[in-house]
Amino acid sequence: MSPHLSPELRECIIYWRYELNKTALEISVIAGCSEHTIYNVLQLHREFGQVSNPYACSKGRTQALNMGDTSYIASLITANPSIYLDELQEKLMSVHGVEASISTISHALRHLAISHKNVAVSALE
C-alpha cells in the first residue's frame, strides 16, 4: 500500500492540473502515485473546494496515554521495579490526572519493552 499524499502534494496536483494543464498521467508520474489517486484528489477539489474530505472520520481511537505519561510510568518503574500496575494507575491519576485502565498501562509497558523478566532482574540488583 502506498503512503498517503501530503496536503502540500495534493495542492500541487490541483495546481499542475488547472494552472499548468497537465494530464492525469503526467501528474501521476510527477507525484509518484496512480492516476486513480489523481482523479480522487481532483474529485475532492471539485466537490468540496479543498483537497481533503471535510466529512471524513479520523481513523482509530485517541491515545489514552501521551508521551509524558508513558515516560512518567517508565521513570516510576526505574525508581521502583517491583511496583504493581494498580499502584502505577493510582500515581498516574494523582500526579497527571489521567484515568487509565490496568490493561492500558500494561499495554504501555509492552510498548516500552518492560516485561516481568526485566523487572525481576532489576529488582534483584
Give per-residue pLDDT as tens, 33-72: 999 999 999 999 999 999 989 888 877 777 888 889 999 9
For the chain, give the secondary structure using H, E and C.
Answer: CCCCCCHHHHHHHHHHHHCCCCCHHHHHHHHCCCHHHHHHHHHHHHHHCCCCCCCCCCCCCCCCCCHHHHHHHHHHHHHCCCCCHHHHHHHHHHHHCCCCCHHHHHHHHHHCCCCHHHHHHHHHC
Would you state the cell numbers that stand for residue 105, as one nine-digit string?
498501562
For the chain, the average pLDDT equals 88
Which pLDDT belongs to residue 36? 96
- Single pTM value for the model: 0.50
Residue 81: pLDDT band by 50, 70, 90 thresholds? confident
